[in-house]
Structure 1
Amino acid sequence: MAVKITNQSLSWTIQNSSELYGIDRWGKGYFTINEKGNISICPNGSNNKSHDLMELLDELESRKLKFPLLIRFDDILEDCLKNLHKAFEKAINDYQYQGKYQGVFPIKCNQQRHVVEELITCGSKWNFGLEAGSKPELLIALSILEDPKALLICNGYKDQRYIETAILARQLGRQPIVVIEQANDVELIIKSSNLLGASPLIGIRAKLSSQSSGRWSSSIGDKSKFGLSIPEILKAIKRLKEANLLNELKLLHFHLGSQINDIGVLKDALQEAGQIYAELINLGAPMGYLDVGGGLGIDYDGSQTASIASTNYSLQNYANDVVATIKECCESKKIPLPTLITESGRAIASHFSILIFNILGKNSLPSDIPKENEKECLSVRNLRETLVHINSLELKQEKDLAKLQEAWNDSLKFKADALAAFRLGYIDLVERAKAEQLTWACAKTIVNQLPKNILLPKELKKLSESLAVTYYANLSVFRSAPDTWAIDQVFPIMPIHRLSKEPKKLGHFADLTCDSDGKLDQFIDNGKIKNLLPLHEFNQNEKYLIGLFLGGAYQEVMGNLHNLFGSTNAVHIRFTENGNYKVEHVIRGNTKSNVLEYLEHDPEILLERLRKSSELAIQGGHLKIHDAQKLIEHVEASLRQSTYLQS
């Protein structure tokens, strides 16, 4: 069988880059590659109105906004919200559903004020509401959500003050629904209602027996953290009836877990929930709302499969299943159709933000060929001969790969010989360095000769990983992409420029933290995961920018201060009808003072201690007054600056 002996493409195009990074598969039309080889932003998912991301970044840099930089495109956020409602509106019309859809956004997904405010403003035409899972989130919702028709779903653990706040908010004209998620919530609701002489709207979360799928499948079932079992629901109904509060029970809630990857699990859960909803009506509860919770997933890798990083359904498939299944259940029981509620967060917020980080440097194994001299040791001479032999090989048939394998085995043996000789003191450090350089030169030459699209021996397949380049990224994984570290979540990551040129290096990213886990080394590969990403050659005098996409949900609020790297600069962008843009909001990232104060280190005390130490050094003749002043000025300036490295 003939094999190709070169991996070099004759001409690289932006279409090649698009296919390589899969941007057309996961970008939903919001991101494309333009003729300049830069990423373009298409705010409505249409290439008719696109904006060059590099040009935008150049202008943001002129506003003194340094990398890493989080860009939030409010147009994309609005478009995702619009598409969610369009999908349910279409399903309701297609299935002649005699009810309506009313969504809420779970604040835990992204609690940033400008994000929540933007969603409520954009969603006002649909009376879009919020879901709160804690007392602070409840306070956020009460301050922002002024629409009397919008729903406020109150989930999470509750105490008496939480419930009293919801009751009083109802009297203010809001529509908070206190969801019973623990058995003792019932008694708290009764007690609070008696105390205030008023009651909240009430919901019940059911523990379904249906199975879920994906990483969060444990969110459902008998062992799930929240919800009432069927016996507990019956007890709750009895107590509410005794307290004359059953008439306030309006909602049934369930949750299948975040990022449902398989649509097959949804219909079973909907059928079970539909039957429970009908039985609650039969038990005397007026009902009116069915909350199917969150879980609407997104396709991170573009494979459209039931893998953890993807989904095997579309947004319209999801809406159709919800509408059709609940209609079937309710009509069979001859009960009114409920208003359908979803708590979709990931599906709304993921696409609208991009984290842009710059590359600071790189590191790779030394594979340059050292200069030859006459007194080289035997191991080094053997490695030189092996390198010449590898260069002379001609790969005409697949079986010729055995020759490359044999040559690599020889290289490893000669390298081991050199290391043994060094340990025994027979060769010096220079000779050992030559042996290592020549070994990796052999590896590099072998990799360049390996053919594509055939099965390679395991040892040869790993050579590319051994020669991979580490790109040093100006970010903290723990701050800006914590799920990559905590749960091995993969996000689309790719260069945002130079995409008209072939990326000939394979690499991964190391962040700024002093932690071996501070890295990005898992990348999407159309349904699979790869450990290396094709990247371009890094030039210290040239800017190289990388984008992490689809990270608008959860990443910011769950990030931590590992090594005291704080929040990045962030901007909200709105595009205008004439093709320009507006910087709606600029949120400056944490300064060093900010993060120090957060951990109770007073910057003024730090400076005073340093000043005293400087005075002692001056008195001892170890430090000049001018240099002491310069040190203090440097520290004062540094405290006002970002925690990230400045170019």
Structure 2
Amino acid sequence: MGLESLLDEKKEGKKLKKLAANWSIEESENLYRISGWGDPYFAINAAGHITVSPHGDRGGSLDLLELVESLRKRKLGMPLLIRFSDILADRLERLNSCFAKAIARYKYPGTYQGVYPIKCNQQRHLVEALVNYGKPYQFGLEAGSKPELMIALATLPPQLDRNEKASRSLIICNGYKDREYLETALLAKRLGHRAIIVIDQPRELDWILHISQQLGIKPLLGIRAKLSTKGEGQDRTAVGDRAKFGLTVPEILAVVNRLEAVDRLDCLKLLHFHVGSQISNITVIKEAMREASQIYVQLAKLGAKMRYLNVGGGLAVDYDGSNTNFPASKNYNMQNYANDIVAAIQEACEQANVNAPTLISESGRAIAAHQSVLVFDVLGTNHIRHTPPEALGKKDHTIVQNLWEAYQGINPSNYQEAYHDAVQLKEEAISLFNFGYLSLTERAKVEQLYWACCRKILNITRNQDFVPEDVQDLEKLMASIYYVNLSVFQSAPESWSLNQLFPIMPIHRLNEEPRQRAILADLTCDSDGKIDRFIDLRDVKSCLELHDFRIPETHAKTPKTEEIEPYYLGMFLVGAYQEIMGNLHNLFGDINVVHIAMTPHGYQIESVVKGDTMNEVLSYVQYDAEDLLERMRRYSEKALADDHITLEESQRLLQDYEQSLRRYTYLVDDGL
């Protein structure tokens, strides 16, 4: 982005400054829907800044902009991931409270004992915090792989109470398993862990029986069922006959018969199912519970000593705040979810005269999503020039004259026809240019007039109750590009790969009207490295309303990076999956992470996890920093000997190269 673009933005900002004066924070709340997706953790204060209330509606908040500026003074560059561990504690308390209320409401004789699926976010600080906060609820962990099992066994303190009926935190062992996985899970029982091995595939049973016999350890077993209930969300293929994991009803019966034949049916304790991630429609959960409840009671009737029902994941997060069954939302709350689960199994157990199980859920997204906020800064912008030429010359081509007339004649009664005319005239002009009948200057005028027509038509459509479909794309077509200090592939991979929507908004200036419509472009050179889908009410919008990018007047002609007023955006609800799914596209590495905890007098920084340096990222792809530096030294010496570079220049190059290897992979202000 050049200096000219920056100056254009400055002029535009001056024009809009007065218009923005009457904007209120209530209008920002409505525009960005913060009360829908952010309650009770995020709001806007009187200064127009985002506030964070880690304890929810129980008091205590901090100004996010002030926090970010404080962190930057500590030499922590953008982008920055801020984790609020108190939100984790609050989410755990709310989940357990909802199940406690449901159990009391239906007089359910069983209990609730959740687990956190480590795959949702495996970062050590987060998992350790969850284990600590989960102690009052005997909250456990779910491992879907061997590395995650290693985390679970070493992080969750074992309890050496030998009473099988005692309430202890659970470790649910899912996923592909080899001998080492199974042996480790079985031996963990000797430490005091209650590790339940879930049979995900029929062949696993023989391995489990063989290893448990060798070790002389009776296993705790579960079965994952393939439900016929239609799945939903990102993991909707997790159910049905062709699901990746789980057993069909005939296979479940085969497992029961096999266990009975070897006198191990009493080891079968748990039924597990999973109908998808981010289930937006409560009906799916109700139908799944109805089917799973019947499988559970039938297993108990067959003689299995059933004790647990694991309802899997799926508890959704309302990313757009619409409270609907739109994929980025949900048409129920946490209490509705708990009520429907408890009611379904209660009814089935009563009718079958079967003991009610301990209920387990793997609600990773609902627990972890809210606690992380990704903050990044805008580096610059690019706007379409939509100002028409001041005047036309007599010698201008006919097509230029026709487009000028079309521009002047645009009005609310003919804007659709005028748009078609502008498109046609532009296409004709490009054809004429390609065959040499139109000069470069004339083509430039055509493009100026075309974009001026589009802007004029767009302004009309914004005041219309109905906009024809062929004109609806103008908003996206005319959108500005805001270049952000971020890699979508590293920090928001679900946005790129799964079209997951996240709330994105400025964290300050929310008492000003955002007059720009924009898409976000990241630092990578990949055309997919952008965000052009944003939350809206029951829909997705192609542009985000943002403020103009300000440049100090005194330095308008020669702006320096540190003199441009920072403009910060926040991406919210990113605590689930994003941190671990990121890749190193263009070698942009892990970002700086800060853990914040509330105190009686404000907040404290619990820990800082510095982002990857270029040296570290290069080592991931088998480059050695010292070797690279030595090569550069040799090349510099040769260039110096050939008089292609001065000694001062070569030393400056080597110094910059060596310093860069130790620096953050993202763009860092000179002032940091």
Q: Which range, TM-score by smaller chain?
A: over 0.9
Offset at residue 417 of structure 1 (A): 5.1
* Alignment match of 1:560 (pick from 552, 575, 583): 583
Q: Contact 2:587 / 2:665 at 8 angstroms: preserved in 1? A: yes
SS at match of 1:627: helix
Greater shift in the superposed pair: 371-380 or 562-571: 371-380
Offset at residue 162 of structure 1 (A): 0.7
SS at match of 2:413: helix
* Alignment match of 1:633 (pick from 630, 655, 665): 655
* Alignment match of 1:607 (pick from 629, 637, 651): 629
Offset at residue 364 of structure 1 (A): 2.1
Match of 1:173 in 2: 192
Match of 1:122 in 2: 133
Q: Contact 1:203 / 1:251 at 8 angstroms: preserved in 2? A: yes
Per-residue Cα deviation, 1:324-378 (whole angstroms, up to 9, x for no partner): 1111111111121111100110000011101111111111222234454756513
The reply on whether 1:90 has 2:101 as its aligned counterpart is yes
Per-residue Cα deviation, 1:529-551 (whole angstroms, up to 9, x for no partner): 11111111122522111111111
Offset at residue 167 of structure 1 (A): 1.1
CA distance, structure 1, for counterparts of residue 425 and residue 286 of structure 2: 62
The reply on whether 1:401 has 2:413 as its aligned counterpart is yes
Q: Contact 1:377 / 1:427 at 8 angstroms: preserved in 2? A: no
Match of 2:444 in 1: 433
* Alignment match of 1:38 (pick from 49, 55, 58): 49
Opposite residue 322 of structure 2, the aligned amino acid is S
Q: Contact 1:376 / 1:431 at 8 angstroms: preserved in 2? A: no
Q: Contact 1:127 / 1:147 at 8 angstroms: preserved in 2? A: no
* Alignment match of 2:593 (pick from 570, 577, 588): 570
Change (3 A) 1:380 1:315: same
CA distance, structure 2, for counterparts of residue 588 and residue 10 of structure 1: 39
Opposite residue 632 of structure 1, the aligned amino acid is L
The reply on whether 1:62 has 2:73 as its aligned counterpart is yes
Offset at residue 171 of structure 1 (A): 0.4
Opposite residue 30 of structure 2, the aligned amino acid is E
Match of 1:220 in 2: 239
Offset at residue 384 of structure 1 (A): 4.3
Q: CA RMSD in A?
A: 1.9
SS at match of 1:46: helix
Q: Contact 1:124 / 1:147 at 8 angstroms: preserved in 2? A: no
* Alignment match of 1:242 (pick from 252, 261, 270): 261
Offset at residue 451 of structure 1 (A): 4.8
* Alignment match of 1:463 (pick from 474, 482, 488): 474
Offset at residue 246 of structure 1 (A): 2.1
Offset at residue 385 of structure 1 (A): 4.7
The reply on whether 1:23 has 2:46 as its aligned counterpart is no
Offset at residue 410 of structure 1 (A): 4.5
Match of 2:9 in 1: none
Opposite residue 136 of structure 1, the aligned amino acid is P
* Alignment match of 1:157 (pick from 173, 176, 179): 176
CA distance, structure 2, for counterparts of residue 405 and residue 57 of structure 1: 46
* Alignment match of 1:333 (pick from 352, 355, 358): 352
CA distance, structure 2, for counterparts of residue 645 and residue 113 of structure 1: 27
CA distance, structure 1, for counterparts of residue 413 and residue 365 of structure 2: 47
* Alignment match of 2:516 (pick from 505, 517, 521): 505
Change (3 A) 1:421 1:204: closer
Greater shift in the superposed pair: 275-284 or 353-362: 275-284
Match of 1:538 in 2: 549
CA distance, structure 1, for counterparts of residue 405 and residue 154 of structure 2: 75
CA distance, structure 2, for counterparts of residue 488 and residue 86 of structure 1: 32
Match of 2:7 in 1: none
Opposite residue 558 of structure 1, the aligned amino acid is M
Opposite residue 591 of structure 1, the aligned amino acid is T
CA distance, structure 2, for counterparts of residue 233 and residue 458 of structure 1: 52
CA distance, structure 1, for counterparts of residue 468 and residue 256 of structure 2: 65
Change (3 A) 1:631 1:332: same
Q: Contact 1:42 / 1:50 at 8 angstroms: preserved in 2? A: yes
CA distance, structure 2, for counterparts of residue 346 and residue 610 of structure 1: 47
* Matched residues, number: 630
Match of 2:275 in 1: 256
SS at match of 1:589: coil
Structure 2 matches for 1:308-347, cutoff 5 A?
308-347=327-366
Change (3 A) 1:231 1:381: closer
SS at match of 2:370: coil
Change (3 A) 1:466 1:268: closer
CA distance, structure 2, for counterparts of residue 386 and residue 341 of structure 1: 66
SS at match of 1:542: coil
Greater shift in the superposed pair: 225-234 or 87-96: 225-234
CA distance, structure 2, for counterparts of residue 416 and residue 275 of structure 1: 64
Change (3 A) 1:604 1:334: same
Match of 1:520 in 2: 531
Offset at residue 217 of structure 1 (A): 1.9
The reply on whether 1:617 has 2:628 as its aligned counterpart is no
SS at match of 1:583: strand
CA distance, structure 2, for counterparts of residue 546 and residue 198 of structure 1: 54
CA distance, structure 1, for counterparts of residue 339 and residue 417 of structure 2: 59
SS at match of 1:258: coil
Match of 1:307 in 2: 326
CA distance, structure 2, for counterparts of residue 162 and residue 463 of structure 1: 56
What is the TM-score with the length of structure 1 in the denominator? 0.94
CA distance, structure 2, for counterparts of residue 260 and residue 619 of structure 1: 67
Offset at residue 638 of structure 1 (A): 0.6
CA distance, structure 1, for counterparts of residue 429 and residue 256 of structure 2: 79
Structure 2 matches for 1:438-457, cutoff 5 A?
438-457=449-468
Q: Which residues of structure 2 form unaligned runs of 5+?
A: 1-18, 160-167, 552-563
SS at match of 1:401: coil
Per-residue Cα deviation, 1:491-516 (whole angstroms, up to 9, x for no partner): 11111111111111111011111111
The reply on whether 1:584 has 2:606 as its aligned counterpart is yes
Opposite residue 626 of structure 1, the aligned amino acid is E
Opposite residue 615 of structure 1, the aligned amino acid is E
SS at match of 2:309: strand
SS at match of 1:356: strand
Match of 1:644 in 2: 666
Change (3 A) 1:536 1:124: same
Q: Contact 1:330 / 1:336 at 8 angstroms: preserved in 2? A: yes
SS at match of 1:351: helix
Opposite residue 23 of structure 1, the aligned amino acid is I
Offset at residue 627 of structure 1 (A): 1.1
Opposite residue 323 of structure 2, the aligned amino acid is Q
Offset at residue 180 of structure 1 (A): 0.8
SS at match of 1:357: strand
SS at match of 1:355: strand
Offset at residue 424 of structure 1 (A): 4.1
Per-residue Cα deviation, 1:380-425 (whole angstroms, up to 9, x for no partner): 45544544444xx5xxxxxx422x3344445445544543453344
Per-residue Cα deviation, 1:265-294 (whole angstroms, up to 9, x for no partner): 222222222222222222222121111111
CA distance, structure 2, for counterparts of residue 619 and residue 322 of structure 1: 78
Q: Contact 2:158 / 2:191 at 8 angstroms: preserved in 1? A: no
Offset at residue 175 of structure 1 (A): 0.8
Match of 2:484 in 1: 473
* Alignment match of 1:549 (pick from 555, 572, 589): 572
Structure 2 matches for 1:383-398, cutoff 5 A?
383-390=403-410
Offset at residue 96 of structure 1 (A): 0.8
Q: Which residues of structure 1 form unaligned runs of 5+?
A: 1-7, 394-399
SS at match of 1:300: coil
What is the TM-score with the length of structure 2 in the denominator? 0.90
SS at match of 1:297: coil
Greater shift in the superposed pair: 462-471 or 102-111: 462-471
CA distance, structure 2, for counterparts of residue 47 and residue 217 of structure 1: 36
Match of 2:378 in 1: 359
Match of 1:593 in 2: 615
Match of 1:377 in 2: 396
Greater shift in the superposed pair: 36-45 or 46-55: 46-55
Match of 2:14 in 1: none
